[in-house]
Amino acid sequence: MRGGEIVESSSERLLTPGEVAALFRVDPKTVTRWAAAGRISSIRTPGGHRRFRESEVHALLRGEEVLTAERQNSESPRV
């Protein structure tokens, strides 16, 4: 799956694009674009819908930069 991983059982709350958008006061499509660009990581439900980890969303709201796996791979030094 591009830009996400399949949801497994986890105790962390997952947010919908609409919930994330409301927190950032942007359109839900903007949140989806952020995920596609690697600005925020997303996971996929078995039905293919995006979900976002609540802890990561709140870290971004606090201004903390969260490196997604995709961005970590592209920013890691080549040997």
Tens digits of per-residue pLDDT, 20-66?
A: 999 999 999 999 999 999 999 999 999 999 999 999 999 999 988 76
pTM: 0.70
Break the chain into its structural domains and give their ranges: 14-62
**What H or E segment, with its residue span, contains residue 57?**
helix 54-61
Terminal Cα distance for the chain, rounded = 27
Under CATH, to which class is 14-62 assigned?
mainly alpha
Q: DSSP letters along 10-43, please?
A: -SS-EE-HHHHHHHHTS-HHHHHHHHHHTSS--E
